[in-house]
Structure 1
Amino acid sequence: MSESNSSGGLTEYINHHLTHNSVQLVGDGALGRFNLDSWLIALGLGLAFVAWFSFFARRATAGVPSKGQAFVELVMEFVDGQVKDTFHGDRRSVTPLALTIFMWVVFMNAMDLLPLDLPGWLIKTFAGEEAMHHTYARLVPTADLMTPAALSVTVFFILLGHAISAKGGWGFGKELLSAPFHAHGPLAIVLAPVNLVMNIIEWLVRPISLAMRLFGNMYGGELVFMLIAGLMTSWVTLVPGVIANAAWGIFHMLIILLQAFIFMILTVVYIAGARESH
């Protein structure tokens, strides 16, 4: 049964589960708030991914691979194949980036499959029932806008690095002022501000679209799980609630993988575009 029976209704239950364990660093607004739960869980999952793949990489054999090694090789071959089909330059730095993004986002998204009330149960077990109602912990880092935004901003600076590396600082700056309307003479000077504005918008849209797509899907999925939990507050609706929860969980597995794949492949596409000239 769900906690919502004892927490004062479904609305209070959802509000509790949508509240982060956070500290206010600057001012009073949301932008100055640091969500400890998202950061700690994302960090732990990232370290788990590195430890897992490093373990099998160090113990890789040329003969018949173990099941763990075979799975790691399968994932790496899949990611490298996607990068090869999308990016036609030197993949030595792009493939590891794509692999890290894909697996890290999968790990963070998969936290949505854990029982919704698991943090509350752990807190109640080890700290008492009173602490459960005053302690907050959200399990899905990608359902926190700050996490997809941080990933997208990082990708944005990586894109800038690739663009400058491929075209040089002068070439990249010249492209910002000359594309997409390639003009000559006095007309080029007139159109330069227009080109600059359009290129700035194009560059800013990339991280915004990456962040909002991932956040929107994971936040929506998390909210659906919370709404389904409301069906489990009564013995009358318990069975439909269990069935709906199982069905949504199975469908959500596809969303988890698909959103990680989209984030990865769009990053590679953007890198390829950043290295090409207009």
Structure 2
Amino acid sequence: MAASGEPLTSTEYIQHHLTNLQVCSTEHGLQWGHHCSEAGFWVLNADSLFWSISLGVFFLWLFRRVGKKATTGVPGKLQCFVEMLVEFVDGSVRDTFHGKNKLIAPLALTIFVWVFLMNLMDLIPVDLIPYAAQVSGVPYQKIVSTTDLNLTFALALGVFALMLFYSVKVKGPIGFLKELTLHPFNSSNVFIQALFVPVNFLLESITLLAKPVSLGLRLFGNMYAGELIFILIAILYSAGAVLGTLGGVLQIGWAIFHILVITLQAFIFMVLTIVYLSMAHEDH
């Protein structure tokens, strides 16, 4: 429903569900919703922050609880599931990461579970929480944090910062600089090598920067498209009994298929993180 109480058109319905609850500070004080449209750069997507932080805290609480109550005998279903998950991630790290770093396995587990939980919110009916929020006076509520480009890029930039840190730590500042300037074109002739340095630096810089960009865009694009399909199917409910029934069938079918998508996207984000950090640990 619109603020005036009139039903939303299909376009307005889609725009409403794809709009974040933004919070900003203006000359009139703390504002939210459409008041932040001209607030500039310092605008917070409050719903993305709330749901991502809440799910992260839930992940930490759940795994800590399982860890404290773990038994050496026959494990319960939850402990068995967590152990299988930890073994799966540990196996992926062993197969992909060729350096020595105790941070990588916990980081990979955190990324996989956290991204999966944020993606999993896409299976909640699209109108359930936004409608409850609107009744409570909150105009927008976008609960799938990974459909927010700001959040997926924040995750990718975190991985990128670790890549740079370990590249400098393992290879040294000079070694990292050589990697950027002496590859892929090299020569034993010093003069020819000097000519290739700017070309190598340009190519390697583009390759380096493309990693976090592709990492963030891939997760955002897939999850945004999936959420949009759920919203488009939901529109059928207002188009009569026949199309409404068809919409229900399509919703269930897409949700079942989307289970594979949300799991695969979390896995891909985890594996690429491991691969990029493995490359950062390689010292030629």
TM-score, normalized by length of structure 1? 0.91
The offset of 1:6, in angstroms, is: 5.5
- Which letter maps to 2:18? L
Contact 1:25 1:34 (C-alpha < 8 Å) held by counterparts: no
Considering only aligned residues, what root-mean-square deviation do their CA atoms show, in Å? 2.0
**Secondary structure, aligned partner of 2:23:** strand
Task: Name structure 1 gaps, 5 residues minimum.
Answer: none
The offset of 1:59, in angstroms, is: 1.7
**Secondary structure, aligned partner of 1:138:** coil
- Check if 1:178 corresponds to 2:188: no
Q: Which residue of 2 aligns with 1:153?
A: 157
Contact 1:84 1:91 (C-alpha < 8 Å) held by counterparts: no
The offset of 1:23, in angstroms, is: 2.3
- Which letter maps to 1:100? T
Q: Which residue of 1 aligns with 2:216?
A: 211
Q: Which residue of 2 aligns with 1:229?
A: 234
Q: Which residue of 1 aligns with 2:23?
A: 23
**Secondary structure, aligned partner of 2:44:** strand
TM-score, normalized by length of structure 2? 0.89
Identity %: 44
Q: Superposition pairs for residues 20-59 of structure 1, below 5 Å?
A: 20-24=20-24, 28=38, 31-59=41-69
RCO higher in 1 or 2 (8 Å CA, sep ≥ 6)?
Answer: 1
Contact 2:99 2:282 (C-alpha < 8 Å) held by counterparts: no
- More displaced 10-residue stretch of structure 1: 231-240 or 46-55: 231-240
The offset of 1:8, in angstroms, is: 2.5
The offset of 1:25, in angstroms, is: 5.9
- Which letter maps to 2:156? S
Contact 2:118 2:146 (C-alpha < 8 Å) held by counterparts: yes
Candidates 65, 74, 79, aligned match of 1:69: 79
Q: Superposition pairs for residues 259-274 of structure 1, below 5 Å?
A: 259-274=265-280
**Secondary structure, aligned partner of 1:236:** helix
- More displaced 10-residue stretch of structure 1: 23-32 or 6-15: 23-32
Q: Matched residues in 1 for 2:25 and 2:200: separation? A: 38
Q: Provide closer, same or farther for how the CA distance between residues 23 and 123 of structure 1 changes in structure 2, counting only shifts above 3 A.
A: closer
Q: Which residue of 2 aligns with 1:244?
A: 250
Q: Which residue of 1 aligns with 2:30?
A: none
Q: Which residue of 2 aligns with 1:107?
A: 117
The offset of 1:65, in angstroms, is: 1.4
Q: Which residue of 1 aligns with 2:33?
A: none
Q: Matched residues in 2 for 1:121 and 1:29: separation? A: 26
The offset of 1:147, in angstroms, is: 0.8
The offset of 1:31, in angstroms, is: 4.7
Task: Name structure 2 gaps, 5 residues minimum.
Answer: 27-36
Contact 2:63 2:82 (C-alpha < 8 Å) held by counterparts: yes
- Check if 1:166 corresponds to 2:176: no
Q: Matched residues in 2 for 1:30 and 1:236: separation? A: 46
Q: Which residue of 1 aligns with 2:29?
A: none
Q: Matched residues in 1 for 2:262 and 2:163: separation? A: 25
The offset of 1:186, in angstroms, is: 1.4
**Secondary structure, aligned partner of 2:194:** helix
Q: Which residue of 1 aligns with 2:130?
A: 120
- Check if 1:202 corresponds to 2:207: yes
